[in-house]
Amino acid sequence: MNNATKTSHRPLRLAVIGGGPSSWIGGQHRRAAQLDGCWQVVAGVFSSHPERAASAAQAVGVDPARGYVDVATMLAVEAQRTDGIEAVTIMTPNDTHYSFAAAALDAGLDVIGDKPVSTTAAEARDLAARARAKGRVFCVTHGYSAYPMTRHAKQLVADGVIGPVRFVQVEYIQSGLAKPIEQGTMTDSQRWKFDADRSGLALVFSAIGCHAQHLACNVAGLAIEAVSADVGALMPGRSVTDTVLANLRFAGGARGQYTITQAAAGSENDIRLRVYGERGHLDWSHRQSAYLHLNIEGEPARTVGRGDPGLPADIARLSRTPRGHPEGLLEAFANLYREAAEAIHARNAGAPLAQVSFPTIDDGVESMRFIEACIASHAAGGRWIGT
């Protein structure tokens, strides 16, 4: 059995910003952080109201006294403790990601941040500069890039198995905005998303599109150099973006297609990536995330499964159960948290921050450059715009 190993280091002390007891993504982060014993959630900012902050902290297993009402207070108080926090994880509305991450980095803390890392490319570049200046780890939680089979696909491309990449297709089709929910009564968690100043340059990109862009670039091992894009809404009368369609030009000459929407009725988080090279192609679908299809010209088609014997050790360690037992997004998130913890322990032991497997703030910068180029291309009638 190729199970992911438990950490040999002590758990790092983690603070959660956002993601209270009723938050789905908050639960995802907290469970993933602690799945392999790499992290212990010891503090957090769950509400700006003192009583609710304390009760929310208690509900997720944190000392109520360490349930703070704002980030500045938490950073100041925790800095005075001998057992203070060592890192933060951020899952708040998009317009706060930059300021909270910048404050944590300036306080000397490592950061695990939900996407998008900021609302502009300039802010993302600033975070990257702060992280480098402080020597801090900054992990961006693009969970789809940490599935065993997407990692294996990346390795196969890098090893030249399909030959030089010629064409990349990525799509993320979802139904979350298939109804005009903004015309009815919305919850607080929905309301901010329809405020463009809070959700960012393009709602659909901040919600799902940056995942698709990162997955394509990460597996293909190529940066997007130019885009020709159509950015808008499928839902009539909608003021925020629910769809982005783009043609892509990658470094080295490869072409690509990018399709994302949250307004496709009946769709179920349908993610698919296909990478075509000179010799063959790779095909991965989130609906069958444990399997990777490999077709090489002149050879029988192959299906590689998570947990198969003979997988490289760095791929096998990403799985916790044998082939045939389902694993999914929680375990992929846990892979990112474990890898971030390993990088922090290595840095603390005196090893320089080297190349890492998890998405970093530099990936966050590329995402924001990409969406700014898409918006500029759409404004220019679909003209090709460099990233």
| pLDDT over 70 (residue 1) | no
By C-alpha distance, which of 142, 139, 168 is closest to 153? Answer: 168
Torsion of CA 99, 105, 109, 112, to 10 degrees: 60
pLDDT at position 5: 53
Task: Kindly report the backbone phi and psi dihedral angles of residue 333, in degrees, each rounded to the nearest multiple of 5, phi listed first.
Answer: -60, -45
Please tell me what DSSP assigns to residue 216.
H
Task: Tell me the residue ranges of DSSP E strands in the chain.
Answer: 12-18, 39-45, 67-68, 87-91, 110-113, 138-140, 165-173, 224-232, 243-250, 255-261, 270-277, 280-285, 291-296, 302-305, 385-386
| pLDDT over 50 (residue 203) | yes
Residues 250-278 have a mean pLDDT of 97
Q: In what order do the strands lie in the sheet with 39-45?
A: 67-68, 39-45, 12-18, 87-91, 110-113, 138-140
For 100-139, the DSSP string reads HHHHHHHTT-EEEEPSPS-SSHHHHHHHHHHHHHHT--EE
Q: How crowded is residue 179: how many other Cβ atoms within 10 Å of its Cβ?
A: 12
Asked if 136 and 103 count as a contact pair (C-beta separation under 8 A), the reply is: no
pLDDT at position 194: 79
Q: What residue segments make up the domains of the chain, in order of their start?
A: 12-143+353-360, 147-321+365-386
- The hierarchical CATH code for the domain 12-143+353-360 is 3.40.50.720
Encoding tokens for residue 319?
């799985």
Interval 96-143: pLDDT, tens: 999 999 999 999 999 999 999 999 999 999 999 999 999 999 999 999
| pLDDT over 60 (residue 293) | yes
Full-model pTM: 0.94
Interval 149-175: pLDDT, tens: 999 999 999 999 999 999 999 999 999
Cis peptide bond N-terminal to 11, omega within 30 = no
pLDDT at position 182: 84
Segment among 44-53, 287-296, 298-307 with least mean pLDDT: 44-53
pLDDT interval class at 4 (50, 70, 90):
low
* CATH class for the domain made up of 147-321+365-386: alpha beta
> Angle CA(58)–CA(59)–CA(64) in degrees, nearest 5?
15
Segment among 72-76, 184-188, 271-275, 339-343 with least mean pLDDT: 184-188
What is each CA distance from 384 to 160, 223, 241, 375, in whole angstroms?
A: 29, 16, 20, 11
Q: Are strands 67-68 and 385-386 parallel, antiparallel or unpaired?
A: unpaired
pLDDT interval class at 236 (50, 70, 90):
very high
Q: Which residue has the higher pLDDT, 37 or 19?
A: 37
β-partners of residue 230 are 245
